[in-house]
A and B are shown apart, each in its own frame.
Chain A
């Protein structure tokens, strides 16, 4: 008979039968039971999926993507320092074994290790793997040029400086140099971070669906409670009431966790990651500026270009010449200049961080004074200029750089720790893995158990 009927008619007949059944009290109670079970099941699925997805996304962002951006920044820093050390070793000539050469070897070793770690974290990302491969290939060429420069230099051959120039160009070339490629690696990671942030849409959609189902379940339970009161002259069905309380409880718990996760993610990604990123950027600027002086001494005929880049780098850090009074005022929180260092002082969120930034400021002031002293000596007394560039006491460039870089590293450690703890606090609590299924089962069971006696009255 069913096969004989047209499809639309069969559907219409089916719907009519359900409506007719639901119009009766026991039928309506059966429909409510089925709807509540289905809604509870949906809440279980949506809640658990959102939970798992959130955990996975936060793990990926906080545990892999952001650290890999940090790794790329570290590689940039280490390579820029290695290039400076290579230049310093060259400038020191036969005294190179005194430290600059060891620094160079250590920095190249650190950079290589960091590249290996990054390669491990790249997984199957083809774009990142290719970028890494290019960097490693160029780095091999770079170290070959530096070694050739060194070999020539040790024999007193002036061609050594040309090899060092070629090495430095390979490192710093704006479009295809090693540092530019490392920066592009960070860009690839940043794109991954953006993609991962965008993938949170799906979680937001799931949570939206969760709360819609949750609200509808609440409505169904309340309407059913009213129906029972009217039809069976009962004041309250305690079991339905308990199910309703559990739904409200589930809503509250998930809502609070959503809010906590949202706040923590916004704090971590918008405030702390931005601060951390600015510090990384300053680190890159400082390293690049520090290298400019050594490279200028190695290649004085290009001093105008080095000077231009030095000014450009340092002006981004502090937009005017610092005085002792400005530094003292800044230490008290009264910042009278602009630039990234001024922002860092204003954004310092704790006394230790403020102390670190003030150390950076003092280091920067010494750094600029040492740079001015070097420039005054270039041409008239090359040897004195070299001594100022490689010297490690506070009034010499390397010493001032260490003070500046030390403060920056401390600030980075503090901010990174803050970021890690904030992103960790964004993680949903472990109990949700049990609470959501348990509450959903309890809601369905209580509802069914609450309706069962009424259905029994109809012999069902």
Chain B
């Protein structure tokens, strides 16, 4: 053999095999959606200082913009208003949940998203268009609610959106359409009643919610786990990776209905009023949504929705009173 061609050929083969595409590309997949275990933040408040986040500057977060009057007729929307542009566009895009019964969830039997928030969204769409069929649901995580509004991906968010002063720095809210409160979901065979009982225990809350902030601020310093969504917390609970879930009572009731070995315990330790999220760029749309809510409160629609999704046939409580700042 005079020249090392044979050798080189084998070397080339070896090199091709080593550096070739046999190591199939790995980064072609969605990011890990598994929740991550996090430690309490280093700057967690000391005991006895638990409170809403200290950055709050507003005095009444639930105070919203007063409607300009009754809901205008669909063909009579104010010129140059956001509602008119939505009508011209042909559909209202709403950010919702698909796994938070009874407010927004995908019914597996008919593949339709339904719930209290969904019916509320349809009320607003019907007020704009006059009929059904002009609504598009964007399923979003709690953590996506604010930025999807800010970048215009969605026109409004109806997704168990807690009205807080911190959120109001970035977006606008409608008046309160549902009063919720933060509680605990634990195993039926446990005696936990409050976050105080869960010192050193693992507690899950959905990422991007005020419930998570509140648990992080708890003086008992539970070990906090952030789930991407509430059902992720339930998975972790059922797998024995967390001892409790802390969130809004109506959401926890929805989770408890899916797992007979759980119970919702303790008193509400934070009020969590729900509002419809709207971009700060469209105050006229906030007033419009408030007008729709006002009408729902007075004409019995709200009570019907409550009975359908939350009350299960019982007597509906009075709807939350609207608070306005102007």
By a beta-carbon cutoff of 8 Å, the part of chain A in contact with chain B is 69, 73, 76, 90-91, 93-94, 148, 152-163, 165-166, 168-170, 172-175, 177, 179-180, 183-184, 186-187, 189-191, 193-194, 197-198, 200-201, 204, 207-208, 211, 258, 262, 265-266, 269-270, 274, 277-278, 281, 284-285, 288, 292, 295, 299-303, 305-306, 309, 312-313, 379-380, 382-383, 386
A301 neighbours in B (Cβ, 8 Å)? 98, 139-141, 144, 229
Which chain A residues border B24 with CB–CB below 8 Å?
73, 76, 183, 186, 281, 284
Q: Give complex CA distance A148, B231 in Å.
A: 13
CA distance A302 to B28 in the complex (A): 14
- Per the bound structure, the CA–CA distance linking A438 and B23 in Å amounts to 46
Nearest to A154 among chain B residues (CB) is: B108
Task: Report the separation of the CA atoms of residues A17 and B105 in the bound assembly, to the nearest whole angstrom.
Answer: 103
Quick one: given A158-B105, A158-B258, are A302 and B13 in contact (CB under 8 Å)? no
* Contact, CB under 8 Å: B234 / A162: yes
Give Cα distance in the complex from A305 to B27, angstroms: 11
Are A190 and B231 touching (Cβ within 8 A)? no
> How many Å from the CB of B20 to the closest CB on chain A?
6
A161 touches B10 (CB 8 A): no
Of the candidates B29, B32, B108, B112, the one whose C-beta lies within 8 Å of that of A153 is B108
Contact status B10-A204, CB under 8 Å? yes
Q: List 20 A-B contacts (CB under 8 A).
A: A76-B24, A159-B99, A162-B229, A162-B232, A165-B228, A166-B235, A187-B23, A190-B20, A191-B17, A262-B6, A262-B9, A265-B9, A278-B21, A281-B24, A285-B28, A300-B139, A379-B136, A379-B137, A382-B111, A382-B113
Are B20 and A274 in contact, with the CB atoms below 8 A? Answer: yes
- The reply on B107 being an interface residue by CB < 8 A is yes
Asked if B79 CB lies within 8 Å of chain A CBs, one says no
Partner of A313, one of B7, B28, B100, B108: B28
Bound Cα distance from A301 to B31, whole angstroms: 12
Give the distance to chain A from B226, nearest Cβ to Cβ, in Å.
Answer: 14
- Nearest first, the 10 closest Cβ-Cβ pairs linking A and B are A172-B29, A162-B231, A300-B139, A190-B22, A197-B14, A158-B99, A379-B136, A157-B258, A269-B13, A194-B17
Q: Are B235 and A162 in contact (CB under 8 A)?
A: yes
**Bound-state Cα–Cα, A156 to B231, Å:** 13
CB distance from B19 to the nearest CB of A (A): 9
Q: Which residues of A contact B31 (CB under 8 A)?
A: 174, 302, 305
How many Å from the CB of B5 to the closest CB on chain A?
A: 8
Q: Is the CB of B231 within 8 A of A158?
A: yes
Rounded to whole Å, the gap between the CB of B167 and the closest CB of chain A is 18
B14 and A194: CB pair below 8 A?
yes
Give the Cβ gap from A95 to chain B, nearest Cβ, in Å: 9
A159 contacts across to B, CB distance below 8 A: 99, 231, 234-235, 238, 255, 258-259
Q: Are B26 and A180 in contact, CB atoms less than 8 angstroms apart?
A: yes
